[in-house]
Amino acid sequence: MHGSGAGPREPPSGPFGQPMATAQHSPEAHYLLPSDPKGWERRGVPDFVYEQKDLAPAGVQWPGPTPGPLGPPSPSRFDSALCSAWRQRMELGLFRYRLGNLQTRTLPGVVGLVAQLNVERGVQRRCPQNIQSVRQAFDPGQFNFNKIRPGEVLFCLRRQPEGAQQEDVLVMINVSPLEWGHVLLVPEPTQGLPQRLRPGALRAGLEAVLLSSHPGFRVGFNSLGGLASVNHLHLHGYYLAHRLPVEGAPSEPLDPGGRLHLLQDLPAPGFLFYLSELGSDLEALVSRVCRATDYLTDHEIAHNLFVTRGAPPGKTSPSSELTGVRVILWARKSSFGIKEGEAFNVALCELAGHLPVKTSEHFSNLTEAAALTLIQGCLLPPAQAEEVRAALVALAQEGP
């Protein structure tokens, strides 16, 4: 475990071991930042400019051979920019609750599920929107990221040369954070894009993982029906100082070219795409993943996606061998709205093995078997899963 139960008795620390001041809900917070709701998106938002040389596909490792909390690595320029800006917003009181050192435990068993008690998120997060379809159109009348407070935006990701990434991607705080450094990656918010994965958004998410020197910085996407609570295109990014099962789980190739693999291990089988090199390989992977998510969306199949540093496809590998980036895609039953009374809701984190638990009672009593039952209950029935598998294998063999 790291941290205490009901609340921090010492100042919480960030992902690199630095102390973090707890939030003070200062009445001055709203006056320290621009307040024009229609002009926030570019005015006063700094750019984080990076080049391909800043992307590190290899060389990031967990510190030891056994699972457990992460010792502080050296932050990259991206990590420093994100963590310092995030900490400032916490001190200004722009979050819905004070995030302390969350009580964390690895559930006994063979999988290595990481359970984390986060009562405040379960109680205080924004209510999900009324969503009825994976393909639902963007509704400007609903809450969207053009309506946030100006200070919630940390910076704009800007790739040089600009031809490599045309879209502006804003990095903003998630006001109901799962963990330290929890941010949203929002491409071109003024365009009003619905929550459907696009190549520019996925590329930004992959490059954010590659910009971080922290092996526990992950990025993910929830589709509509996959527990996305806001129908405005965004990805999640956050730090978790623990290994997860999906980093080194074994897989089998599904097509002769090795473009698509099936992640066989628990907590849930998923489709695995792998990036070992940059350049054209990244663009090819983005294309393959988006063909798959387009198919799922067009066929009204909810899905979740998780991006993490990990081992190459194949047999079980030690989770310390983070030689590339794994992109895992799960097709699942549609679920609209938060399910009350359950220990956790199943979205991108839970499918990867990170379980943000809502209550102390559930946290104390949760077993691996109960968690796996809840997770696997959200997967597609076998016949539909096989149909999806055949379709994605065919799509993987198209194009690069």
* Largest CA-CA distance found in the chain, in angstroms, rounded: 61
Between strands 354-357 and 114-117, the pairing is: parallel
Going through 56-149 in order, the beta strands assigned E by DSSP cover 104-106, 114-117
Q: Token pair for residue 177?
A: 């954070």
Q: Is 377 helix (H, G, I), strand (E, B) or coil?
A: coil
- Judge contact between 200 and 169, C-beta under 8 A: yes
- Name 154's Cβ contacts closer than 8 Å, sequence gap at least 6: 81, 82, 85, 86, 89, 171, 172, 173, 183
| CA 94 – CA 84 distance, rounded (Å) | 14
Q: Locate tokens 């709701």: which residue?
A: 37
Q: What is the CA radius of gyration of the chain?
A: 20
Q: Name the residue among 336, 356, 354, 377 with its Cα closest to residue 227.
A: 336
- Judge contact between 36 and 105, C-beta under 8 A: no
Q: Token pair for residue 110?
A: 């063979």
Please report how many Cα atoms fall inside a 13 Å half-sphere around the Cα of residue 322, on the Cβ side: 30
Between strands 153-159 and 47-50, the pairing is: parallel
Backbone angles phi, psi at 174, to 5 degrees: -90, 115
The residues annotated with a catalytic role in the active site are: 234
Q: Name the residue among 316, 183, 157, 191 with its Cα closest to residue 246.
A: 316
DSSP string covering 153-195: EEEEEEESSGGG--S-EEEEE-SS-SSTT-EEEEESGGG---S
Q: Locate tokens 């190549």: which residue?
A: 199
- Name 322's Cβ contacts closer than 8 Å, sequence gap at least 6: 58, 60, 61, 62, 215, 247, 309, 310, 311
Q: Which residues pair with 184 in a beta bridge?
A: 172, 236
